[in-house]
Chain A
Amino acid sequence: MSVFVWIETFEGRAVPSSWEALGAARIIAGATSTDITALVFGENAAAVAASAGQYGAANAIVAEDEALRDYLLERYAALLSELVRSHRPSAVLAVASNRGRELLASAAADTNSGLISDVIELRVEDGRIIGKRPAYAGKVLMEMRANTATAFVTIRGRAFPPAASAKGAEPAIKIAAAVGAADAIATEIESFAPEVGKINLADAAIIVSGGRGMANNPKAPPEGISGDAAKIWRAKDGFENTLRPLADVLGAAVGASRAAVDAGYIAYDHQVGQTGKVVNPDLYIACGISGAIQHQAGMRGSKIIVAINKDAQAPIFKLARYGIVGDLYEVLPALTAALEQRLAN
């Protein structure tokens, strides 16, 4: 009846938000007087399991065989479902990342277990797990209870503090192997183009976002570029040479409004909002973003919001703790310089 936590790994290392899932698991383990078992599959799993011990896992189930080297939904789900059937954990937790979502939903279906996703608060009542989660783009909260012996829960990134680490704590390790025939897999990965060095929006503690206002870059585009292409050039140059330097000083991820994405100023994977990513960083700096309700849906949960906009009436100021009314192309370089100086001290 242990609490299972799937530790997501990428290229042999734990995805840091997995420690948040261990933190959330403590709430359940504490309330039901059980312990935590980390599940680590794939490359370097044993070493990752050792770290999980330091973050509060008393046990670990490790599966390192070649068939599991790279994450593949079918194989990982088959193994997770098998482990749930044989160990009957009270809960299975993971972060609501792309993989966490699909893996837990699949294994919950395989084992006919209740799944509560994107949870921001957890409690246990009469032995049943109850999760609070945002709905309707955070305009409403809902509470859901899992009615089955095993409850599957995905947690929203940055909603739970990571478990504290204790040096030297060693989990008791069990070894598991891949389930099913190696060739009974319906998909094959043909190629993968990693985006190195990019900070994931969902995990970022600080985000600097740009909107349609990024197009008002005073810099002139090269000869021969005019019209919409000139706008795109100006905005792209602004994201690269004005906004990114600020993000770099802060170690921040770069976000954007849908208007900026749709106009071709920046790629879609930067979009924050109702049809983009939902983020909840400590600090969100919105530059040249008006603050439409659909944008707010993605960033309202940020701890401190800073708005930089030349229009004092922009709705974003209503959400912001601090605002600067001004041209972002003057404010951002000044802010970058001020922070560089302040951080150097």
Chain B
Amino acid sequence: MHIVTFTRSTPDTAAKVWVDSDGKVTWGDVATVVNPWDEYALEETIAQATNGGGESTVIAIGSALHNDALKHSMAMGLKHALRIDAAGADTHDSLVWSALAAGAISKLGDVDLVIFGKESIDVATDQHSYQLARRLGWTMLSYVSAILEADYAAGAIKVERMLEQGKQVVSGQLPAVISVMKGINEPRYPNFLGIRKAAKASIPVWTAADLGVEAPEAATSVLGYMNPPARDVSTEILDAGDVSATARTLAERLFKEKVL
């Protein structure tokens, strides 16, 4: 039994991020973190692999920037980590990405389940998981808020999904790709031993040739990045003496703004 999860490094959520004069996205020298949505996927991968007595692998696709996320994952308890570096891996084109990801899954060979976080907080496309599932021809179950049953021997999984219109219980066949939501678990913090072990581990890097895939031409191109227009807000603090009068003033202002 083998569970795989994908992750990447992202700037810390508190970091100031901007486009510099060369048109590049930068966050100064603030450290990166493991993509926060992926903490739930990492925890679920560890839990599923541990319960099922199987293997767990975490994969990042792209530059050495993502080693930090892989080390963090190993420190949490992921058994194996690997990075895929290939032309086009950092272009944000999900078709190129999914071709490489599918190549890695096929090369590993024995994978039962792939677990994704809901989205990445940097590009936040929420599209990588689906395209990987389509390329592999596997079952896709998104927005999973609980794994209710997983029988790896029988190849069956039952999950609860959190959708805009309500909660759905779905059963499906393995192998499958799932994406998980916050709330599915409480991600653990890496402990000292884990951090030491991860620091020592060397992470293998696979190329497109290692995977035996020819990455397709990018179906999309990033034309450029720009800073958003500055939000021009002048704040008016309302105080009409007593709270009822202040509330009435606010109500009037909102009517004038035509937002009611």
In contact, B238 and A324 (Cβ under 8 angstroms): yes
In contact, A98 and B142 (Cβ under 8 angstroms): yes
- The 8 Å CB contact of B126, one of A101, A109, A148, A206, is A101
Stretch in A38-46, A132-140, A158-166, A229-237 with 4+ CB within 8 Å of B: A132-140
Stretch in A60-68, A83-91, A330-338 with 4+ CB within 8 Å of B: A330-338
Q: Is B141 an interface residue (CB 8 A)?
A: yes
A335 to B243 alpha-carbon distance, docked (Å): 9
Q: Which of A73, A275, A282, A326 has the most CB of B within 10 A?
A: A275
In contact, A193 and B166 (Cβ under 8 angstroms): yes
Write out the residue numbers on chain B whose beta carbons fall within 8 Å of the beta carbon of A334: 243-244, 246-247
In contact, A109 and B163 (Cβ under 8 angstroms): no
Stretch in A49-57, A183-191, A215-223 with 4+ CB within 8 Å of B: A183-191
- The 8 Å CB contact of A304, one of B176, B243, B254, is B254
- Write the nearest CB–CB distance from B210 to chain A, whole angstroms: 23
Write out the residue numbers on chain A whose beta carbons fall within 8 Å of the beta carbon of B14: 293-294
Residue in A closest to B125 when the chains form the complex, CB atoms: A117
Number of B residues near A (Cβ < 8 Å) is 85
In contact, B250 and A187 (Cβ under 8 angstroms): no
Please provide the chain A residues from 178 to 225 with a CB less than 8 Å away from any CB of chain B in the complex. 186-195, 200, 202, 205-206
A137 to B123 alpha-carbon distance, docked (Å): 8
A191 to B239 alpha-carbon distance, docked (Å): 51
A202 to B248 alpha-carbon distance, docked (Å): 28
In contact, B231 and A300 (Cβ under 8 angstroms): yes
In contact, A141 and B226 (Cβ under 8 angstroms): yes
- Write the nearest CB–CB distance from A296 to chain B, whole angstroms: 10
Residue in B closest to A103 when the chains form the complex, CB atoms: B130
A146 to B173 alpha-carbon distance, docked (Å): 34
Q: Is B257 an interface residue (CB 8 A)?
A: yes
Stretch in B1-9, B17-25, B57-65 with 4+ CB within 8 Å of A: B17-25
A246 to B23 alpha-carbon distance, docked (Å): 44
A300 to B233 alpha-carbon distance, docked (Å): 11
A324 to B240 alpha-carbon distance, docked (Å): 10
In contact, B140 and A106 (Cβ under 8 angstroms): yes
Answer whether A189 and B168 are a contact pair too, CB < 8 Å, given A144-B223, A319-B231: yes
In contact, A114 and B220 (Cβ under 8 angstroms): yes
Please provide the chain B residues from 105 to 144 with a CB less than 8 Å away from any CB of chain A in the complex. 121-127, 130-131, 133-135, 138-143
Main secondary structure of the interface of A (DSSP, over half): mixed
Return the CB mask of A298-342 against B: 1 if under 8 Å, else 0.
Answer: 001001111000001000011111111110001100110111001
A130 to B92 alpha-carbon distance, docked (Å): 15
In contact, A294 and B95 (Cβ under 8 angstroms): no
In contact, A324 and B237 (Cβ under 8 angstroms): yes
Answer whether A116 and B13 are a contact pair too, CB < 8 Å, given A106-B130, A139-B18, A187-B172: no
Write out the residue numbers on chain B whose beta carbons fall within 8 Å of the beta carbon of A268: 162, 181-183
Residue in A closest to B240 when the chains form the complex, CB atoms: A324
Answer whether A186 and B173 are a contact pair too, CB < 8 Å, given A319-B231, A323-B238: yes
A24 to B52 alpha-carbon distance, docked (Å): 47
In contact, B166 and A145 (Cβ under 8 angstroms): no
Answer whether A343 and B168 are a contact pair too, CB < 8 Å, given A294-B14, A304-B254: no
Answer whether A206 and B13 are a contact pair too, CB < 8 Å, given A112-B216, A186-B172, A324-B237: no
Known: A187-B171, A195-B165. 16 other contacts (CB 8 A): A98-B163, A102-B140, A112-B216, A114-B93, A114-B95, A115-B220, A130-B223, A136-B121, A138-B228, A141-B226, A142-B222, A186-B139, A283-B254, A319-B231, A322-B237, A338-B247
Q: Which residues of B contact A (CB under 8 A)?
A: 11, 13-14, 16-19, 25, 36-37, 92-95, 98, 121-127, 130-131, 133-135, 138-143, 158, 162-173, 176, 181-183, 216-228, 231, 233-239, 243-244, 246-248, 250-255, 257, 259-260
6 closest cross-chain pairs (CB), A and B:
A114-B219, A334-B247, A105-B130, A109-B134, A105-B127, A109-B131
